[in-house]
Amino acid sequence: MDREKNQKGLNVLNAIFGTWLIIAPFILGYLGSPRVNDIVVGIIVFVLALISAFYENKWSQTINLLVGIWLIISPFVSGYASITGAMVNDIILGLLVIIFSGAGLGFVSNVQHAHASDDWNKK
């Protein structure tokens, strides 16, 4: 039960990070490419966090981990590294999404391994 609570907690945090990405451009006041990037990525992070909260799976956590990597490199790839607020926000949020999605992947793997062991012991 504690693992399940921890997993849900990680997903709630990722949903909060997604929500922040959606509203950050309006609060921090940046426009254009970084605004569009953060809103789209925020929606993706939020939706995948919700999926992960209700359905144990590796794919949604893995995609969120990859999205976190995108957040870190997007200011440099998309050319808005000079917009300090957007760049710092995206790098910090990218690291957080990577950390919590990676931790979530560990929980999913452990839970799936435990279920497989239980199934094996029943035979």
In this predicted structure, the answer to whether residue 103 has a pLDDT above a threshold of 80 is yes
Amino acid at 37: N
pLDDT over 60 at 78, yes or no: yes
Residue 26: both structure tokens together? 């309006």
Q: 1: pLDDT confidence band, cut at 50, 70 and 90? A: low
- pLDDT tens digits, one per residue of 5-47: 777 889 999 999 999 999 999 999 999 999 999 999 999 999 9
Nearest to 85 by CA among 44, 40, 35, 13: 35
Picking from 11, 112, 101, 118, the residue whose alpha carbon sits closest to that of residue 54 is: 11
| Contact of 34 with 83, CB cutoff 8 Å | yes
pTM, to two decimals: 0.82
